[in-house]
Homo-oligomer: A and B are copies of this chain.
Amino acid sequence: MSDPFFHPVSGFDLPRFAGVPTFMRLPHVPADHPRFKDVQVGLIGVPWDSGTTNRPGPRHGPRQLRDASTMIRAQHASSGMRPFETVNCADLGDVGPNPADIQDSMARITAFYAQVVAAGIRPLTAGGDHLTSLPVLRALAKDGPLGMIHFDSHTDLFNSYFGGTMYTHGTPFRRAVEEGLLDPKRVIQIGIRGTMYDTEDRDFAAANGIRIVTIEEFFERGIADVMQEARAIVGAAPTYVSYDIDFVDPTFAPGTGTPEVGGPNSYQALQVCRELNGLNIVGADLVEVSPPFDQSGNTAFLGVSIMFEMLCAMLTPTKG
For window 50-64 of A, CB contacts with B under 8 Å fall at 50-57, 59-60, 62-63
Partner of A168, one of B56, B100, B193, B216: B100
The verdict on A67 contacting chain B, using a C-beta distance below 8 Å, is yes
Residue of B nearest to A102 (CB): B100
Cα-based distance from A120 to B168 in the complex (angstroms): 37
The verdict on A141 contacting chain B, using a C-beta distance below 8 Å, is no
For window 135-149 of A, CB contacts with B under 8 Å fall at none
Cα-based distance from A46 to B195 in the complex (angstroms): 25
- A293 neighbours in B (Cβ, 8 Å): 292, 296
The verdict on A232 contacting chain B, using a C-beta distance below 8 Å, is no
The verdict on A122 contacting chain B, using a C-beta distance below 8 Å, is no
Q: Interface with B: A13-21, A203-211, A279-287, which one?
A: A13-21
Partner of A100, one of B53, B91, B295: B53
The verdict on A66 contacting chain B, using a C-beta distance below 8 Å, is yes
The verdict on A198 contacting chain B, using a C-beta distance below 8 Å, is yes
Partner of A296, one of B19, B196, B254, B262: B254
The verdict on A215 contacting chain B, using a C-beta distance below 8 Å, is yes
Q: Are B93's CB and A259's CB within 8 A?
A: no
For window 85-135 of A, CB contacts with B under 8 Å fall at 91, 93-102, 104
Partner of A57, one of B11, B28, B57, B75: B57
The verdict on A42 contacting chain B, using a C-beta distance below 8 Å, is no
Q: Are A197's CB and B252's CB within 8 A?
A: no
Partner of A196, one of B60, B73, B259: B73
Partner of A51, one of B13, B100, B261: B100
Q: Are B11's CB and A77's CB within 8 A?
A: no
- A59 neighbours in B (Cβ, 8 Å): 15, 17-18, 56
Whole-angstrom distance between the Cβ of A243 and the nearest chain B Cβ: 14
For window 248-273 of A, CB contacts with B under 8 Å fall at 249-252, 254, 258-259, 261-263, 265-267, 269-270
Mask for A171-192, Cβ within 8 A of B = 1, else 0?
Answer: 0000000000000000000001
- A97 neighbours in B (Cβ, 8 Å): 15, 18
Partner of A259, one of B51, B161, B197, B301: B301
Q: Are A270's CB and B266's CB within 8 A?
A: no
- A295 neighbours in B (Cβ, 8 Å): 295-297
Q: Are B270's CB and A47's CB within 8 A?
A: no
The verdict on A72 contacting chain B, using a C-beta distance below 8 Å, is yes
The verdict on A10 contacting chain B, using a C-beta distance below 8 Å, is yes
Cα-based distance from A52 to B101 in the complex (angstroms): 11
Q: A57-B56, A104-B165, A251-B251 are in contact. Are A96 and B20 (CB under 8 A)?
A: no
The verdict on A239 contacting chain B, using a C-beta distance below 8 Å, is no
The verdict on A167 contacting chain B, using a C-beta distance below 8 Å, is yes
20 sample A-B contacts, Cβ–Cβ < 8 Å, listed by A number: A12-B197, A15-B54, A15-B59, A19-B96, A20-B91, A49-B56, A63-B67, A71-B258, A73-B197, A74-B197, A75-B196, A77-B195, A100-B102, A219-B267, A251-B252, A254-B298, A259-B301, A261-B269, A261-B302, A262-B267
